[in-house]
Amino acid sequence: MKTIRLHAAGELRVEQEVLRQQKTGEVLILMGEVGICGSDLHWFDDGGIGDAQLSHPLILGHEMAGIAQTGRYAGMLVAIDPSIPCGECDFCKEGNPNLCPTQRFAGHSNEDGGLCEYFYWPEENLYPLPEGFTLSDGVMLEPLGVAMYAVDLSGIKPGDSVGVFGCGPIGLLIIRLARLAGAGQIVATDILPHRIEVALGQGADHVFLANGMQDLDDLRKVIPANGLDVVIEVAGDNSAVETALELVKPGGRVTLVGIPADNRTSVNAATVRRKGLALQWVRRMKHTYPRAIELVQRGQVELRSLVSHRFSLDEAARAFVTAQKRDGLKIVISIEGVSDPVQ
């Protein structure tokens, strides 16, 4: 079968290889589409993310959908949860599988992801998609899940003023979910004009092109005098974190979603201390797929318009370069020309 493996930073290779051995509880999936996430770009740009570094050629991809070939969902379009927690540790038993220290995650560390023609994955990680859903919808359920978990942690209440700093696909979905949660005012920023235009369509009341701390005066003109009730940072950039901390009200809620390129987030200690702030980091997501499917099925969240580019498996390198340039919104790779899984 055909695969795409990352051999070093910036070096993706199309390869032919034999499908690995099936493990207990797994089913065979004919892969359909795979999205490129910001964390995939960290692997592509730097050969790693955080303290996880490339130790062998890795198949990337964790935003995935395909058609189950075996098991109880055989023949059905399925979304694929990329995380496999151990199920036995204290964190899993407490209902926090996303914090499991030994979880396997598709396209990360030693676990191959979905940029291949065929894929084995646990059946319990598959979610059959309702009639009318597309492969792209299935792919986008993963970033929607991250956005949902971020909003859950942020504690947005009806009438809250909310800042969303970073308007990539997850940030845009956070804006939509914040509006559904009853936010009274939503202010959004990004460094790219086309993204803040989409933010308006997702429900933002005010949008600004980000220009570091120079934006503060303009932003303060439209937010409450005491500051924002909730801020969610989704840029992975320290200037966005600094802006968030400056604009949140004393005792407000701060949620950090973005992953910084240098694995460092710094804060002004005086600001955080004087405002009595607690910073909440987001670790992936948990228990979101059924809720996400229901939101889309009801028409409360629309996903397809966020997919701006689609490439074939053979064009994976070009797809990653396009994503690297931040052109468009969500970049998706379609798995085409499927061959026999053992060829």
Q: Is the same domain home to 159 and 274? A: yes
Q: Is the same domain home to 94 and 176? A: no
Q: Is the same domain home to 161 and 269? A: yes
- Residue 199 in any domain: the answer is yes
Pairing of strands 126-128, 161-165: unpaired
- Residue 119 in any domain: the answer is yes
Q: Is the same domain home to 159 and 201? A: yes
Phi, psi torsion values for 189, nearest 5 degrees:
-135, 155
Q: Which pLDDT belongs to residue 181?
A: 97
Q: Which pLDDT belongs to residue 213?
A: 57
Average confidence (pLDDT) per 10 residues, the chain, 343 residues: 96 96 97 97 94 95 97 97 98 98 96 97 98 96 98 98 98 98 97 96 96 78 97 95 96 97 92 96 97 98 96 96 94 72 43
Burial class (CB in 10 A: 0-12, 13-18, 19+), 89: middle
Whether this model's pTM surpasses 0.85: yes
- Residue 134 in any domain: the answer is no
Q: Is the same domain home to 267 and 310? A: no
- Residue 289 in any domain: the answer is no
Which alpha helices (DSSP H) does the chain contain, by range? 38-46, 90-93, 135-154, 169-180, 193-202, 216-220, 238-247, 269-275, 289-297, 316-324
Identity of the residue numbered 335: I
**What are the C-alpha distances in Å from 107 to residues 6, 64, 221?**
10, 11, 43
The answer to whether the Cα torsion of 63, 67, 71, 73 is positive or negative is positive
Whole-angstrom Cα distance, residue 321 to residue 28?
30
CB 284 within 8 A of CB 98: yes
Q: Is the same domain home to 242 and 326? A: no
Q: Is the same domain home to 25 and 106? A: yes
Q: Is the same domain home to 109 and 175? A: no
- Residue 139 in any domain: the answer is no
Phi, psi torsion values for 308, nearest 5 degrees:
-100, -25
Whole-angstrom Cα distance, residue 164 to residue 178?
9
Whole-angstrom Cα distance, residue 4 to residue 107?
11
Taken as a whole, the chain contains a residue count of: 343
- Residue 294 in any domain: the answer is no
- Helices 169-180 & 135-154, crossing angle to 10 degrees? 60
Q: Which pLDDT belongs to residue 340?
A: 45
Q: Is the same domain home to 24 and 109? A: yes
Number of domains in the chain: 2
Q: Is the same domain home to 170 and 112? A: no
Domain with residue 268: its CATH number is: 3.40.50.720
Whole-angstrom Cα distance, residue 122 to residue 22?
10
Q: Which pLDDT belongs to residue 39?
A: 95
CB 109 within 8 A of CB 83: no
Q: Is the same domain home to 16 and 89? A: yes
- For residue 332, which of 141, 145, 123, 48 has the smallest C-alpha distance? 141
- Residue 90 in any domain: the answer is yes
DSSP class of residue 213 equals B
Domain range for 40 is 2-128+303-334
Q: Is the same domain home to 152 and 109? A: no
Q: Which pLDDT belongs to residue 212?
A: 63
DSSP class of residue 20 equals P
- Residue 197 in any domain: the answer is yes
Domain with residue 9: its CATH number is: 3.90.180.10
